[in-house]
Structure 1
Amino acid sequence: MGDMTAAPPGGWKEFIARYWRKAPVHFPAMLNPGLLSASEGFEILVAASRAAGEPGSRVPIHFYTGKGFKESDPRAFLPLRDASLDAYAERLAGQLPGQNFVLALNHAESWNDALWLRCRGFLRELYASVGIPEGTDLAFWLSRAGVSGFGVHNDPFDHLIFVLTGRKRFLLWPTEIIRTHPEVVNDTCYLGIRDQSLRVDLEPGDMLYIPEGYYHVVEGDGRPCFQVSFAMTSERMFWLDSFRGAMHRSQEVRLRDVPSSMTIPLTHFEGGEVTTQPPPTLELLTNVFTGLGGEMRLNVARTWLARLTGLGLAAPRERDVRAITDADLVQGDRDNPILLYPVGDRLVGAARGHSFVTRENEGIRALMEHVNSGHRGRVGELLDAQVATWRGSAADRAEAHRLLTQLYRVRAVDVGSLLPGMMD
């Protein structure tokens, strides 16, 4: 799977002018090849399902059954040993005879680096015009149903929807129609307004756009269907929530040294004026918040750069690799450069949705410049050159070594071979 740069007929700018946040639109046979194949999607479902069984797992995978799509314990229904997508769908049909079911996986892009690059390439031109949304989620939906158990509903995000296998029919209504028929909301009985809907029959290779807040319902044909969709939202106060979370974490660390309870000494005073200093325990509590602004700037910069390099997608999982050695050849990707931003005496960087912090150092900057050039180099020679040029210390060299290993883990550098299209 390479970088994907397909666009709607007429291009993204025309799409934005005519449809973005305005009206749904169906583009038949737009993607050939598609975002990914059904077999590749099934491999991702299997990998996520296996990880979901590990202790402490927080994999966002869900299973729904029945007419109302009631959430069930997914463990008995996950594809762990099924040989193929067809075999898995056949097993589910046997386990749940005559019942609707949905297996849903959020942030599927994080499970495959090649898919992640495709998603980013696909969304780049759209986001260049509308901005990076606060949330972008590539969701997988493997389902068998008649009418969707969610009924007639709207979503607080914009949707780009594709089908990998099977077919689905979408019925869509503007808010004005639903406002006169409030009884259909979240209900599967909507015959009274069915003829007022926009009907879209979605097949593999098609793309359907549904604007935020547009009401819809999904009808299946009772056979398994594998659907993927980008959910893009700008209504979650992401930056404020991120700031609050970072501030809370920072405070918790700092407050560990402050007594959980304390008494204060009775201070003698005359004439209503207190001339003594606050007791040490209160001074300690006050000092907890000194310098908090600098930490917040660092955290905001990390989040900002990570989202710039990932277009808001969930970052691909780090790979489990050995530490880089002086003898290794390393090479960066000039088409996906590492971004740097100074914050005081620290240097914030990001690549492929992952961020890092290191000391502000000209040697590190020069090393990152070399990596971003796409030229291959031997680690020991590169680090020795930076230390000699910028009068770096052994600690500086060790920090650069650690940073290269971290970049290797997030696939920002490759080791031992040239990347496609790169030159020495």
Structure 2
Amino acid sequence: MRCGRNSPDCRRATMTTTRTPGFWADFARTHWETSPAHFPALLAPVLFPLDELFDAVTRMPPERMSGDRYWVSTTGRPASRDEFTTVPLDAHAPVVNDGDFAGFFRRATAEFPDRRIGINLHHLEKASPALWFRFRELVQAINTAVGAYPSDNWDIDTFIGTYKVSPLGIHKDNAGVFVTGLSGRRSYYLWPEDHFRPGDAALRTLDLDELKPHLDQAMRFDLEPGDLLYWPSSHWHLICSDGEPSVVLSVSAYFGKALSAVIGNQVRNLLAGCLGEDNDQDSYEIGSDANEPPAALAKAHRLTMQAAQGGQISDALQQYWIRFLSADGMHALPPDTAARLVTDRPIRVDSRYPIHFMRSAAGGLIVSANGVAITVATRHHAALEAMLQRLNTGTETSLAELIHQHARAPVTAEEVTSLVGLLNQCHAFRSAGDG
């Protein structure tokens, strides 16, 4: 199944869709975290339309991730990473007035004549729930086939550019990467982990003549629109092109999340909430016994112990896990806080993406959909759990019907309306025609 148009040791994939029974199970046995795989023409362009990606890119919120960048070369033929600089995304990234990516590339050429440009944007779910759900279908199938989740997250990002050699040069990520072509063509050169040693000069240059001995030993895969390419986290990679505009989408499984960080984050957030303004300390008072922790530290320790004994830390960890689970390890889909639910509008939960819920030590109910957790202060667990279980069957219903069936003493119509409304804002319900 390992394929590549220019790799003589590879053969063309015979499976033509990721929905073919056994496709991902075969992939997991053959390639997951062991070897690259190239599947030509596997994904129909309609699955990830170029115009939909353009719409998402132009609607990204102004808050940027640290990895979001717009590179511009300082020469027409950059030979090192130092010959790329970054410019503000807000001033130069694609905008609605460009019309489409072709319009953006025309503007970029006018803004930066005789230069190579490249854009990398992460967390596309912030602008496109539809794109997030389409990738989630792939991610869920991969998780199931592999039998595990990546400990950090799955991240959706896009690379847009005219660079002949990626400004990142030859590099390696702590992630298994899937990339699909949407426009233009790119060549991916891959090497196993032991090919390069730390400090190798090849890791610092973009000069293809200098890199030729390594390129000759690489696995090369030419990516065209509709192709899917995978490489494991152990592999070095370099992305090249003919310099014409190209656009790709990728989803990456990031590994290596420390358990101490997972637990520590839950405790830190919980303790910060308990301490309030006392969380920030400018100094520690000197007491009569220098060996005794100061009062501020003693208070923080006492609150931490109380949180552990009272079940709050356990709740926080459980909440972390059902958020993770309800998004299949992807970044949370941001809620649409403006969404309002019409009482008699048909709604249904996609049974592939169920609502997750658990009882908290504090006596309430923690509910999660698509990576977002909702805490419901209620003692009426059984009645609301029955409603959530019914929703998870995927049966079409409506808010009016849910109120009629589940708003019975002691559960009120307001409780049902509030919870269902919050779930609606978390994209828990699929409309007619959704995949």
| TM > 0.5 | yes
CA contact (8 A) 1:332 1:413 kept: yes
Could you say which residue in structure 1 is the equivalent of 2:336? 319
- Report the CA distance between 1:226 and its aligned residue: 0.2
Which residue number in structure 2 is paired with residue 271 of structure 1?
A: none
Give the residue type in structure 2 aligned to 1:295.
Answer: Q
In structure 1, the residue matched to 2:384 is 364
| Structure 2 CA distance for partners of 1:9 and 1:90, relative to 1, 3 Å | farther
Which structure 1 segments of 5+ residues have no match? 268-277
Q: Which residue of 2 aligns with 1:24?
A: 36
User: What is the CA–CA distance in structure 1 between the aligned matches of 2:118 and 2:324, rounded to whole Å?
Assistant: 30
The residue correspondences of 1:32-71 to structure 2 (distance < 5 A) are 32-33=44-45, 35-48=47-60, 51-52=61-62, 57-58=63-64, 61-66=68-73, 67=78, 68=81, 69-71=84-86
Q: 1:349/1:83 Cα in 2 relative to 1: closer, same or farther (>3 Å)?
A: same
The aligned residue for residue 248 of structure 2 is: 227
Name 2:137's counterpart in structure 1.
Answer: 121
Displacement after TM superposition at 1:118 (Å): 1.1
**What's the counterpart of residue 245 of structure 1?**
265
Residue 334 of structure 1, CA deviation: 4.5
State which drifts further: 335-344 or 150-159. 335-344
Matched, 1:419 2:432: yes
What aligned pairs does 1:356-395 form with structure 2 within 5 A after superposition?
A: 356-358=374-376, 359-360=378-379, 361-377=381-397, 379=399, 382-383=402-403, 385-388=405-408, 391-392=409-410
Once the two structures are overlaid, the 10-residue window that deviates more, 357-366 or 111-120, is: 357-366
Contact 2:71 2:85 in 1 (8 A): yes
Aligned counterpart, 2:99: 83
Q: 1: distance between equivalents of 2:178 and 2:121? A: 16
Q: Kindly provide the amino acid, as one letter, of the partner of residue 303 in structure 2.
A: V
Once the two structures are aligned, what percentage of the paired residues are identical? 23
1:337 is aligned to 2:354: yes
Distance in 2 of aligned mates of 1:180 and 1:317: 39
| TM-score computed with the length of structure 2 as normaliser | 0.80
Partners of 1:342 and 1:78 lie apart in 2 by 45
Matched, 1:201 2:197: no
Task: Tell me the residue number matched to 2:14.
Answer: none
- Letter aligned with residue 72 of structure 2: T
Matched, 1:298 2:319: no
Quote the Cα distance in structure 1 between the aligned partners of 2:30 and 2:298. Answer: 60
The alpha carbon displacement at 1:104 in A equals 1.3
CA distance in 1, matches of 2:181, 2:260: 35
Aligned to 1:275: none
> Per-residue deviation at 1:75?
2.2
1:23 maps to amino acid: S
Tell me, in whole angstroms, the C-alpha distance in 2 between the residues paired with 1:192 and 1:376: 60
Q: CA deviation at 1:281?
A: 8.5
C-alpha distance in 1, partners of 2:266/2:89? 32
**Cα 1:244–1:330 shift into 2, 3 Å:** farther
2:155 aligned partner: 137
Mapped contact 1:162–1:202 kept (Cα < 8 A): yes
Q: Is the 8 A contact 2:172 2:235 kept in 1?
A: yes
Please give the alpha-carbon distance, in whole angstroms, between the structure 1 residues aligned to 2:382 and 2:22: 46
Question: What letter matches 1:215 in structure 2?
Answer: W
1:187 pairs with 2:205 = yes
TM-score of the two chains, using structure 1 as the length reference: 0.82
Aligned equivalents of 2:373 and 2:236: distance in 1? 38
Number of equivalences: 394
Are 1:289 and 2:309 matched, yes or no? no
Does residue 14 of structure 1 match 2:30? Answer: no
RMSD: 3.2
CA spacing shift, 1:353–1:281, aligned 2, 3 Å: closer
AA aligned opposite 1:350: S
